[in-house]
Amino acid sequence: MKRKVVLCLAALAVIVGAAALGVTGWMVFQPGPYAFATGKPVPLSAYQGPAPTGVPVELAGADPAMRGAYVAAMADCQACHTAPGGKPFAGGRAFVLPFGTIYTPNLTPDPETGIGNWTDAQFLNAVHRGVAPDGSHYYPAFPYPSYTMLSDEDVLAIKAHLFSLLPVKQANRPNTFGFPYNQRWLMAIWSALFNPDERFRPVPEQSPEWNRGAYLVEAAGHCGECHTPRNLMQALDQRAKFGGATAEGWTAYNISADKVSGIGDWSAEELAAYLSTGHAHGRGVASGPMGEAVELSLSQLTKADIGAIVTYLKSVPAVKGDLPALAGPAPATPQLAGLDNPVGKRIFEGNCASCHAWTGAGAAREEAQLTGVRAVNDPGGANVALMVLHGSGAPTPHRPHMPGFGNAYSNDEIAAVTNYVTARFGARSSTLTAADIAALREAN
Amino acid sequence: MSAISVNGRTYEINAAPDTPLLWVLRDELGLTGTKFGCGVAQCGVCTVHVDGIAVRSCQIPVGTVGQRVITTIEGIGETSAGARIQKAWLDLEVVQCGYCQPGQIMSAAALLTANPDPDDGAIDAAMSGNLCRCGTYVRIRQGIKHAARS
């Protein structure tokens, strides 16, 4: 009898162990970021085509300072390493994560508080392997599993650009992680599992444009860090590549080829316009973290580089999402009685209609169009609520600015107007409450 | 140097493309009937028509207007709806201090063109972006109905 129990327990332990191993293995052994592409990747040195790394051909003859600035813009270091209203690259921007708050460090060449004393080898080790000069490990909030694909030359071009900046004396703020997340040594294990520590490998069977796009999207632009969901161990789940995720409260939408939830029905021109200017006709305006990515990175890239990004994005296989199909234009004479949301209606009338128009088609400015925009057609409603709270800066010059209403209205009112807008102009109403808005205020 | 069409006339303008249309109308063309209120599209006093649609001229960069036709309070009396609204305003003495009224008349004229017989809900909706500190809202509603019947 006793032996039977022991045997059963042992069998159970084996099964549980195997299952745990299986789950871990499933998370660890997953396809690379562009394993979907037909062809056999080769080392950069063995690639015969035009270099997918570095600056584009037009800038090949430019002075090193300009080339360094371009590569730094490609990698969009500035967005995260600048606090709101702070000095560029001096760090201090807070990221509120489920484990605590983490603050980005100072990247200016100040010897005491910045990276002024770092050697080239130390900088490469940080960007490729996530290891600080003192041997401690960074958290993957720093997207080194993407940056590890950057060529040595490009990483050092970024370093040269950073070292050309004026030093800013600003001490780094420690993060507020509690146990066990404050155990940095655990990141060594995480890194061993999830950082391949391998430079970009071009795929000769794909076009030079595709390879350049893959480098810009995967290595430098690290788009997946926001747009790809994470698994239990916080690594990007490449099986659901570009299937959409959340960043600082904002929904980073599905950017796979799915026609409904993703960008499958966007034309190449629409994608290029959205990426380079922050707006495409009828597609809305890049706001929140995407607005920053456009302002500080994508709008700085050449037309050819934007074209390469579009070529690559269009090749990413569809990941099915659960977003509804976009609703068409809203009726000119809306059935207001059918929208039982007097608070939302009152706020929309008084604050929104003058720019967005009664039909949501936008009054005179095409950027103000609400109908057909993914965020408005998302029953989650987070991005609409965040736009109402914080407004939307103009990602590029001559683009309109939306003021934020976060200080003017209560959480109840902002939830009401968000639910009104999604119901009236979108596919399905959001059902946000004051508590949801409070959480969004916290996350941002 | 570019050109815009205002009240049936073409004007050459020097303003930079990102200058608000309101600035160009008032300062460059001398059409001061359109007023400045809040400057952030919240009060409605700067309302003009662009291709017949009521818009806030303080928020529209002049460079985005292109070939589209602008109508201001100086030209609205030439349209059927505008003439009827203006007459109704005089008949019912809608105005008190008058500062917001260019915007009120432009919004009301656009409403009447799009919807010849608006009910209270449609009037409240279309006029909701136009503030009046004197509180002439009741007479504005009556004025629009009066004009619709005329």
Residue A337 pLDDT more than 80? Answer: no
Interface contact B62, partner A, CB < 8 A: no
Does residue B89 share a domain with residue B52?
no
Chain B residues in contact with A403 (beta carbon < 8 A): 40
Does residue B137 share a domain with residue B99?
yes
Mean pLDDT, residues A178-206 taken together: 93
pLDDT over 90 for what percent of chain A?
Answer: 76
Pairing of strands B2-6, B69-71: parallel
- The pLDDT value recorded for residue A335 is 61
Does residue A352 share a domain with residue A309?
no
User: What distance in Å separates the CA atoms of residue A282 and residue A303, rounded to the nearest whole number?
Assistant: 21
Chain B residues in contact with A279 (beta carbon < 8 A): none
Name the residue range of residue A229's domain: 224-315
- The pLDDT value recorded for residue A17 is 75
Find the CB nearest A365 among B64, B114, B115: B64
Does residue A185 share a domain with residue A293?
no
What mean pLDDT is reported for chain A?
92
Find the CB nearest A358 among B50, B63, B126: B126
**Structure-token pair, residue B64:** 């985005």
- Please count the structural domains in chain B: 2
Find the CB nearest A351 among B17, B42, B125: B42
For tokens 């596919």, the residue is A427
Q: Each residue of A286-303: pLDDT tens digit? A: 999 999 999 999 999 999
**Structure-token pair, residue A349:** 């009338």
Chain A residues in contact with B125 (beta carbon < 8 A): 334, 336, 349, 353, 358
pLDDT-derived band at A307 (thresholds 50, 70, 90) equals very high
- For residue A403, the chain B residue with the least C-alpha distance is B40
- The pLDDT value recorded for residue A29 is 81
pLDDT over 90 for what percent of chain B?
Answer: 83
Residue contact B59–A365, C-beta within 8 A: yes
- Please count the structural domains in chain A: 3
- For residue A364, the chain B residue with the least C-alpha distance is B55
Chain A residues in contact with B119 (beta carbon < 8 A): none
Which runs of consecutive H residues, i.e. helices, occur in A219-349? Answer: 224-227, 268-277, 288-296, 303-315, 342-347
Interface contact B54, partner A, CB < 8 A: yes
Pairing of strands A284-285, A245-247: unpaired
Shortest CA gap B119–chain A (Å): 11
- The pLDDT value recorded for residue A332 is 59
Does residue A241 share a domain with residue A186?
no
Residue A63 pLDDT more than 60? Answer: yes
Interface contact B64, partner A, CB < 8 A: yes
User: What distance in Å separates the CA atoms of residue A60 and residue A375, rounded to the nearest whole number?
Assistant: 39
Please report, for the domain that includes residue B126, its CATH number. 1.10.150.120
Residue B45 pLDDT more than 60? Answer: yes
Name the residue range of residue B43's domain: 2-71
Residue A156 pLDDT more than 90? Answer: yes
Q: Are A437 and A385 in contact (CB under 8 A)?
A: yes
C-alpha torsion A43→A49→A50→A53, nearest 10: -20
Q: Are A74 and A304 in contact (CB under 8 A)?
A: no
Mean pLDDT, residues B36-53 taken together: 92
Does residue A345 share a domain with residue A304?
no
Residue B15 pLDDT more than 70? Answer: yes
Residue A406: CB partners within 8 Å, gap ≥ 6?
A388, A389, A390, A414, A441
Chain A residues in contact with B71 (beta carbon < 8 A): none
Does residue A59 share a domain with residue A186?
yes
Residue A346 pLDDT more than 90? Answer: no
Interface contact B69, partner A, CB < 8 A: no
- Give the sign of the dihedral formed by CA A106, CA A111, CA A117, CA A120: positive
Query: Does residue A29 lie in a domain region?
Result: no
Shortest CA gap B83–chain A (Å): 23
Interface contact B50, partner A, CB < 8 A: yes
Which of these three, A194, A216, A242, is where a domain ends?
A194
Rounded to 5°, angle at Cα A153 from A147 and A157: 85
Does residue A256 share a domain with residue A357?
no
Which of these three, A172, A194, A216, is where a domain ends?
A194
- For residue A366, the chain B residue with the least C-alpha distance is B64
Q: Each residue of A395-413: pLDDT tens digit? A: 677 677 888 999 999 999 9
Does residue A341 share a domain with residue A308?
no
Q: Please report the residues numbered 74 through 113 in chain B whose beta carbons come closer than 8 angstroms to any beta carbon of chain A.
A: none
- The pLDDT value recorded for residue A420 is 94
Does residue B64 share a domain with residue B80?
no
Which of these three, B16, B41, B71, is where a domain ends?
B71
Chain A residues in contact with B63 (beta carbon < 8 A): 398
Please report, for the domain that includes residue B16, its CATH number. 3.10.20.30
Does residue B85 share a domain with residue B25?
no
Residue contact A351–B124, C-beta within 8 A: no
Interface contact B52, partner A, CB < 8 A: no
Shortest CA gap A281–chain B (Å): 14
Does residue B83 share a domain with residue B18?
no
- The pLDDT value recorded for residue A78 is 96
Nearest by Cα to A248 from A278, A287, A275, A288: A288
Chain B residues in contact with A355 (beta carbon < 8 A): 41, 56, 59
Query: Does residue A394 lie in a domain region?
Result: yes
Does residue A303 share a domain with residue A349?
no
CB pairs under 8 A between A and B: 51
Residue A338 pLDDT more than 60? Answer: no
Helix-then-strand count for chain B, H and E: 5, 5
Does residue A283 share a domain with residue A167?
no
Interface contact B41, partner A, CB < 8 A: yes
Shortest CA gap A397–chain B (Å): 9
Give A19 or A143, the one with higher predicted confidence.
A143
Chain B residues in contact with A354 (beta carbon < 8 A): 41-42, 44, 56, 59, 129
Residue B140 pLDDT more than 90? Answer: yes
pLDDT-derived band at A22 (thresholds 50, 70, 90) equals confident
- The pLDDT value recorded for residue A365 is 79
pLDDT-derived band at A336 (thresholds 50, 70, 90) equals low
Query: Does residue A421 lie in a domain region?
Result: yes
Mean pLDDT, residues A18-25 taken together: 75
